[in-house]
């Protein structure tokens, strides 16, 4: 038995609605509405190009971890982690979300094995790379002074950048 064109259209509509709901549930508190729409259009095949990174208001925290507590950090930051490299964790948050906790609260939970730099500002955020291989993230043009500040802190402390 073959499906009619109407049944195929209804199935596509149904799957698009489910995909849209899943995307917003997973990333709605972290991404702007325009970024969510761009991702959805790209995944629906309506656009052959990646959306360009856009200036967005973003809050971030950069942590340096010593010891084996990376799993604990992931528990406290959930899906907000952008980058993990050699015990440096960068996490970004939508300023309107209720996810962002002051890093001093997080330090109390993670103990003296973490130091943090945090702030909010306007940064380019979106896909970086080619349409075949890309990463979604935030571009911090001041990453070097941010890391220099981080490395001067004592473990167990945080500073607003």
Residue 151 lies in a domain: yes
104: containing domain: 49-160
Burial zone of 91 (CB within 10 Å; 0-12 exposed, 13-18 middle, 19+ buried): buried
Instruction: pLDDT band for 150, please (50, 70, 90 cuts).
Output: very high
Does any domain span residue 155?
Answer: yes
Number of structural domains the chain divides into: 1
Distance from C-alpha of 158 to C-alpha of 63, rounded to nearest angstrom: 9
Q: Indicate whether 60 pLDDT > 80.
A: yes
CA distance 118 to 61: 4
What is the reported pLDDT for 113? 80
From the list 99, 93, 82, 102, the residue with the least C-alpha distance to 32 is 93
Answer whether residue 75 is part of any domain.
yes
> What CA–CA distance (Å, rounded) separates 33 from 25?
12
- Residue 154 within a domain: yes
CA–CA distance, 138 with 160 (Å, rounded to integer)? 18
The pLDDT tens digits for 104-147 are: 566 666 678 888 898 889 998 888 776 667 778 888 888 899 99
Residue 33 lies in a domain: no
Q: Of 153, 115, 138, whose CA–CA distance to 53 is shortest? A: 138
Q: For the chain, give the mean pLDDT.
A: 75
The domain spanning residue 83 has which CATH number?
3.30.70.1230
**Within-domain flag for 61:** yes
Q: Helix 5-27 vs helix 33-43: angle between axes, to the nearest 10 degrees? A: 140
- The pLDDT value recorded for residue 104 is 59
């Amino acid at each position: 038995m073959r499906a009619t064109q109407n049944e195929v259209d209804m199935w596509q509509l149904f799957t698009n609605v489910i995909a849209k709901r899943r995307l917003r549930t997973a990333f709605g508190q972290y991404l702007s509405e325009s970024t969510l729409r761009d991702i959805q259009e790209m995944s629906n095949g309506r656009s052959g190009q990646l959306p360009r990174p856009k200036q967005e208001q973003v809050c971030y925290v950069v942590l340096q971890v010593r010891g084996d507590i990376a799993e604990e950090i992931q528990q406290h930051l959930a899906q907000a982690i952008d980058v993990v490299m050699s015990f440096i964790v960068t996490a970004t948050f939508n300023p309107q979300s209720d996810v962002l906790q002051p890093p001093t609260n997080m330090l109390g939970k993670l103990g003296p094995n973490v130091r943090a730099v945090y702030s909010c500002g306007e940064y380019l955020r979106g896909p970086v790379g080619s349409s075949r291989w890309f990463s979604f993230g935030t571009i911090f043009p001041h990453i070097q002074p941010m890391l220099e500040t981080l490395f001067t802190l004592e473990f167990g402390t945080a500073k607003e950048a």
